[in-house]
């Protein structure tokens, strides 16, 4: 009688335990005991990344410390058909590192060797090296690594490669893509591979381009060569206030139209400045409908010339108040508010959902108006911080996760923002990635043929679909489900698709 | 999705019929780069009809143009608004097109500081080998939705499909530009270039040839003025400097021209892409160094194997640009990378109709 368990419930669980046994037995031959975790209490910390709403219990977690071990793990998983989810620091915001229920989490945290080569202005970093650690190690040579995602104190360079991370300075200095020369890693079958080179290009198709931002679905990254650039001698920041969001949006366009590429150009709306000022006292103008932070960096001569130019343009664009940082302490104070936008939002609401879409800069004011209307429509508040220079928006929708109806309205609000972004000529993710969070939105942005082409790319690298399966590219079926409620680019969704 | 216009519709028809007959197509824009890559094969498919700037908003720093748009037209439109393609794509001759620029993926003198063609491409509309019109990327500079297929297409030499529309990031023209020259030998030039690379000078382009280093500074007035003062050298007259850099960019300078006599001597023109700090390379012939040392052109009679070995030892690779024997133009790929290339070809162009063999035999 003991075996007559309800097979519909226990069957899959028993199978999973059996599978776990087999996989652990295979892995134990190539890894020390302590590098394999499979008991629930040990694997629990790996159940999610920074998008904590999505959780999954991994079957096994492995913590290799050498490339040989990574290759061996991948060979075993390939042979046994086990999904592999590579993981860095787990700071991702879109669930890209969400484990697979019957898969292995490949934690690359132990890959933390870093070599700075000041002569060639490059660094060779193992994938688990933290983003900020590269700039810290390069500082004695007057060099730094430019992309600075807000999580840079914790996030790893391997994760940055997976997400093509940006930061507040990418208008001038580019994204991860523009600052990486070479990625070394392993294919799904465990074969070693290198994309790019120590030179500025490599023969053949530009595979480095497609690896960067592929969210761990095409290959496993173990080592990255990045460019280092001379640290600017000086940076100064302007804080400009505007009485209405239209003129703030127009000012952003005007700065660019005048041939200025600021080192950073950020925008916050009134609700946001109120929240952050209460949190860090950044001396923001609380009367302004929106404020801009506009930064110049370079040699003292360059900065002086550029700040004067920026100031004149912002004034002409109707800034009601302008303050230029006098010294480094004041500059950091200006930025302290911007950098604390997320925690400050946590201070005024039980929960918030951070959105991440990009629109053409000229549509900023229009988008803010649309978001204001959505606040009324969904009965929720939203505070806004924008990387205005790149048109990258981070609206933070405030809600209470304990309230099921608020949660539901928040999700609809978020989807509305993303779809409005696509309609305004933008994209559903600027820098946080698709992961699992934006799979539905991918159905809105891409046609079935485009998504099928993405799957073709996946298959060229990973024909068995073992690397981070289920992320980034939604299945036709999923989009069909989602499409029942949505219309794509003015056409009925997927007319060619059979309906059952 | 809007209905394709007449010229795009004609291209789709051509692709349909090529697929039906399994008859390869040679995608051709201005035909100015037919010398580049492995020998072209297939029935020519003229792209020049698909032309025009579809959208350009200077305040967005983004321009979208159809593949057959002539580069000279695009650059003139940008110049009207004080903007440019900062990567200075080589034009080789009149009539080169936007599609050709992207498909070849070649960048000019400013590449080391301003970035490459690929760095500036934001989105591409592609006609693939299943006659599907697909759009990847977009018109915004921060975009991580899906794999970055648009940048994969840069330098693909048309083997994955027909590039129809391209959106690119553009930049304002620098306020101030000055060229300095230094009479230095290769060793001195490489040493100084390496030293300057770690310092915040507004260096925009470098070229060394015939015992002289040319250094182009570009940026804020004050920054260029300070650099001129501190770096020394001779200041080049503005007109002469412009002519010099054009010759480098479009490869119209004498060094790059292989005439019948040089071919008869067995000379080829090679491009060696190496780490900027690589030591001087020992090959017979003449050399022209760009990109702070990262791009080294050689006019040499050395056999291909010797040139490739020299590049590989320096940590880079070599490409045959012009020469008598046009086989094995690009450095061979290892088996893992070749397998990925073959998989991508199959995914985009299952019938193998686009520019077969132009990049590698069998692709």
The whole-chain average pLDDT of chain B stands at 96
Query: How many residues are recorded in chain A?
Result: 500
Query: What confidence tens digit (pLDDT) does each residue in A90-103 have?
Result: 999 999 999 999 99
Contacting residues of A for B152, CB less than 8 Å apart: 205-207, 209-210, 457
In whole angstroms, how far apart are CA A475 and each of A188, A224, A450, B348? 21, 31, 12, 19
The DSSP letter of residue A484 is T
Hey, are the CB atoms on A164 and B148 less than 8 Å from each other?
yes
Q: Which residue of chain B is at minimal alpha-carbon distance from A121?
A: B198
Hey, are the CB atoms on B147 and A438 less than 8 Å from each other?
no
Hey, are the CB atoms on A431 and B142 less than 8 Å from each other?
yes
ipTM of the complex: 0.97
Q: How many CB atoms are located within 10 Å of the residue A3 CB?
A: 7
Cα B350 off chain centre by: 27
Give me the pLDDT at residue A485, please. Answer: 53
Task: Report yes or no: A433 and A160 within 8 Å, Cβ to Cβ.
Answer: no
Size of interface A-B (CB pairs under 8 A): 255
Hey, are the CB atoms on A209 and B331 less than 8 Å from each other?
no
Measure the CA–CA gap between B185 and B289, rounded to whole angstroms.
12
Contacting residues of A for B197, CB less than 8 Å apart: 121
Q: Which residue of chain B is at minimal alpha-carbon distance from A229?
A: B198
User: What is the distance in angstroms between the Cα of B237 and the nearest Cα belonging to chain A?
Assistant: 24
Give me the pLDDT at residue A274, please. Answer: 94
Contacting residues of A for B147, CB less than 8 Å apart: 210, 213-214, 218, 454, 457-458, 472
Label each residue of chain B as H, E or C: CCCCCHHHHHHHHHHHHHHHHCCCEEEECCCCCCCCCCCCCCEEEECCCCCCEEEEEHHHCEEEEECCCEHHHHHHHHHHCCEECCCCCCCCCCCCEHHHHHHHCCCCCCHHHHCCHHHHEEEEEEECCCCCEEEEECCCCCCCCCCCHHHHCCCCCCCCCEEEEEEEECEECCCEEEEEEECCCHHHHHHHHHHHHCCCCCEEEEEEECCEEEEEEEECHHHHHHHHHHHCCEECCHHHHHHHHHHHHCCCCHHHCCCHHHHHCCCEEEEEECCCCCCCCCCCCEEEEEHHHCEEEEEECCCHHHHHHHHHHCCCEEEEEECCCCCCCCCCCCHHHHHHHHHHHHHHCCCCCECCCCCCCCC
Pick out chain B residues at pLDDT < 70. 1-4, 324
Measure the CA–CA gap between A70 and A185, rounded to whole angstroms.
9
Pick out chain A residues at pLDDT < 50. 1-7, 486-500
Among A142, A204, A492, which would you mutate to test the B interface (most chain B Cβ atoms within 10 Å of its Cβ)?
A204
Measure the CA–CA gap between A417 and A433, rounded to whole angstroms.
16
Find the angle CA(A270)-CA(A272)-CA(A275) to the nearest 5 degrees.
110
Hey, are the CB atoms on B148 and A213 less than 8 Å from each other?
yes
Cα B206 off chain centre by: 17
Interface of A with B in 19-78 (CB under 8 A): none
Give the three-state DSSP class for A2: coil
The DSSP letter of residue A99 is P
Measure the CA–CA gap between B172 and B155, rounded to whole angstroms.
25
User: What is the distance in angstroms between the Cα of A392 and the nearest Cα belonging to chain B?
Assistant: 7
> Nearest CB to B273: which of A177, A187, A199?
A199
Q: Is A204 on the interface with B (CB under 8 A)?
A: yes
Would residue A321 be called left, alpha or beta, if left means φ above 0 and alpha means ψ between -120 and 50 degrees? beta
Spell out the residues 6+ positions from residue A402 whose beta carbon is closer than 8 angstroms to its own. Answer: A350
Among A209, A229, A495, which would you mutate to test the B interface (most chain B Cβ atoms within 10 Å of its Cβ)?
A209
Which tokens is B230 given? 């501190």
Largest CA distance in chain A: 85
Give me the pLDDT at residue B2, please. Answer: 47
What does residue A55 show for φ and ψ, rounded to 5 degrees?
Answer: -130, 150
DSSP string, A288-322: -SEEEEEEEEESHHHHHHHHHHHHHHHHHTT-SEE
Give me the pLDDT at residue A346, please. Answer: 85
Specify which residues A230 forms β-bridges with. A143
> Nearest CB to A302: which of B132, B219, B343?
B219
Which tokens is B174 given? 């620098």
Q: Which residue of chain A is at minimal alpha-carbon distance from B171?
A: A259
User: What is the distance in angstroms between the Cα of A37 and the nearest Cα belonging to chain B?
Assistant: 31
User: What is the distance in angstroms between the Cα of A285 and the nearest Cα belonging to chain B?
Assistant: 27
Measure the CA–CA gap between A494 and A489, rounded to whole angstroms.
11
């Amino acid at each position: 009688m003991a075996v007559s368990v309800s097979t519909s419930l226990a069957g899959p669980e028993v199978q999973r335990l059996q599978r776990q046994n087999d996989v652990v037995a295979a892995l134990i031959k190539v890894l020390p005991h302590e590098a394999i975790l499979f008991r629930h209490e040990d694997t629990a910390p790996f159940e999610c990344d920074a998008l904590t709403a999505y959780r999954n219990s991994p079957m096994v977690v492995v913590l290799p410390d050498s490339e040989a071990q990574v290759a061996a793990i991948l060979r075993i998983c390939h042979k046994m058909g086990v999904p592999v989810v590579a993981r860095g620091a787990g700071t991702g915001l879109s669930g890209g590192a969400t484990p697979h229920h019957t898969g292995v989490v490949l934690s690359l945290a132990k890959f933390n060797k870093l070599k700075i080569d000041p002569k060639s202005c490059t660094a060779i970093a193992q994938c688990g090296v933290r983003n900020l650690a590269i700039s810290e190690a390069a500082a004695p040579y007057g060099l730094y690594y430019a992309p600075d995602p807000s999580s840079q104190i914790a996030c790893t360079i391997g994760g940055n490669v997976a997400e093509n991370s940006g930061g507040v300075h990418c208008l001038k200095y580019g994204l991860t893509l523009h600052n990486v020369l070479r990625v070394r890693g392993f294919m799904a079958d465990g074969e070693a591979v290198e994309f790019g080179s120590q030179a500025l290009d490599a023969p053949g198709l530009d595979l480095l381009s497609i690896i960067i931002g592929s969210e761990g679905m095409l290959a496993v990254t173990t080592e990255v060569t990045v460019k280092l650039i001379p640290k600017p001698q000086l940076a100064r920041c302007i804080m400009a206030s505007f009485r209405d969001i239209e003129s703030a949006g127009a000012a952003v366009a005007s700065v660019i139209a005048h041939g200025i590429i600021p080192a950073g150009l950020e925008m916050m709306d009134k609700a946001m400045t109120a929240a952050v000022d209460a949190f860090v006292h950044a001396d923001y103008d609380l009367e302004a409908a929106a404020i801009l932070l506009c930064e110049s960096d370079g040699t003292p001569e360059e900065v002086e010339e550029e700040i004067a130019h920026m100031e004149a343009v912002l004034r002409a664009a109707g800034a009601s108040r302008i303050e230029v940082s006098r010294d480094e302490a004041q500059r950091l104070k200006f930025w302290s508010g911007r950098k604390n936008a997320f925690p400050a939002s946590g201070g005024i609401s039980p929960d918030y959902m951070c959105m991440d879409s990009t629109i053409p800069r000229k549509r900023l004011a229009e988008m803010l108006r649309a978001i204001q209307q959505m606040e009324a429509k969904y009965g929720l508040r939203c505070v806004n911080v924008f990387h205005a220079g790149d048109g990258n928006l981070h609206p933070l929708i405030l809600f209470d996760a304990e309230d099921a109806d608020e949660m539901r309205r928040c999700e609809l609000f978020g989807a509305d923002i993303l779809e409005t972004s696509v309609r305004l000529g933008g994209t559903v993710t600027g820098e946080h990635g698709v992961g699992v969070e934006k799979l539905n939105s991918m159905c809105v942005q891409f046609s079935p043929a485009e998504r099928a082409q993405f799957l073709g790319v996946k298959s060229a690298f990973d024909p068995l679909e073992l690397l981070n399966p289920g992320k980034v590219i939604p299945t036709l079926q999923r989009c069909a489900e989602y499409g029942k409620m949505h219309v794509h680019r003015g056409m009925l969704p997927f007319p060619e698709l059979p309906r059952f | 999705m809007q209905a394709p216009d007449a010229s795009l519709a004609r291209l789709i028809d051509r692709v349909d019929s090529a697929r039906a007959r399994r008859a390869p197509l040679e995608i051709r824009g201005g035909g100015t780069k037919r010398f580049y890559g492995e020998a072209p094969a297939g029935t020519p498919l003229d792209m020049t009809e698909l032309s025009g700037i579809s959208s350009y908003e200077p305040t967005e720093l983004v321009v979208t143009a159809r593949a057959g748009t002539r580069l000279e037209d695009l650059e003139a439109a940008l110049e009207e608004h004080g903007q440019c393609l900062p990567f200075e794509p080589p034009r080789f001759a009149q009539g080169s097109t936007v599609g050709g620029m992207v498909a070849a993926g070649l960048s000019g003198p400013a590449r080391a500081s301003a970035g490459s063609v690929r760095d500036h491409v934001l989105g591409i509309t592609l006609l693939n080998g299943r006659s599907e019109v697909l759009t990847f990327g977009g018109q915004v500079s921060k975009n991580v939705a899906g794999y970055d297929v648009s940048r994969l297409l840069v330098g693909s030499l048309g083997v994955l499909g027909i590039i129809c529309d391209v959106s690119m990031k553009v930049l304002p023209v620098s306020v101030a530009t000055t060229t300095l020259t230094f009479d230095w030998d290769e060793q001195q030039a490489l040493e100084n270039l390496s030293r300057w690379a770690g310092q915040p000078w507004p260096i925009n382009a470098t070229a060394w040839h015939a015992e002289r280093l040319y250094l182009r500074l570009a940026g804020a007035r004050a920054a260029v003025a300070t650099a001129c003062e501190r770096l020394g050298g001779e200041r080049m007259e503005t007109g002469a400097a412009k002519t010099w850099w054009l010759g480098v960019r479009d490869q119209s300078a004498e060094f790059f021209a292989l005439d019948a006599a040089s071919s008869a001597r067995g000379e080829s023109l090679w491009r060696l892409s190496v780490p900027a700090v690589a030591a001087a390379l020992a090959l017979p012939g003449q050399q022209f160094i760009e990109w702070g040392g990262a791009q080294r052109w050689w006019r040499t009679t050395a056999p291909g194997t010797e040139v490739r070995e020299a590049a590989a030892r320096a940590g880079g690779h070599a490409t045959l640009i012009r020469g008598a024997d046009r086989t094995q133009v690009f450095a061979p790929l290892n088996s893992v990378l070749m397998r990925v290339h073959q998989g991508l070809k199959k995914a985009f162009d299952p019938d193998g109709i686009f520019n077969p063999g132009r990049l590698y035999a069998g692709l």
